[in-house]
Amino acid sequence: MAEATQFMFNHKELVELMVKKQQLHEGIWSLAVRFGMHAANFGTSPDGSDVLPTAMIPVLEIGINRSQKENNLTVDAARVNPRHEPKMTFKRRPHH
Report the C-alpha dihedral over residues 67, 69, 70, 76, rounded to 10 degrees.
60
Measured distance CA(84)–CA(87) in Å, rounded: 9
Q: What residue numbers bound the domain in which 38 lies?
A: 11-80
Based on the structure, what is the number of domains in the chain? 1
Strand partners, 46: none
pTM of the model: 0.74
Position 2 in a domain: no
Position 18 in a domain: yes
Residue 94 — very low, low, confident or very high, per pLDDT cuts 50/70/90? confident
- Chain centroid, CA 34 distance in Å: 12
As a whole number, the mean pLDDT across the chain is 91
Position 70 in a domain: yes
Query: What's the confidence (pLDDT) of residue 18?
Result: 98
Position 76 in a domain: yes
Residue 34 has pLDDT above 70, yes or no: yes
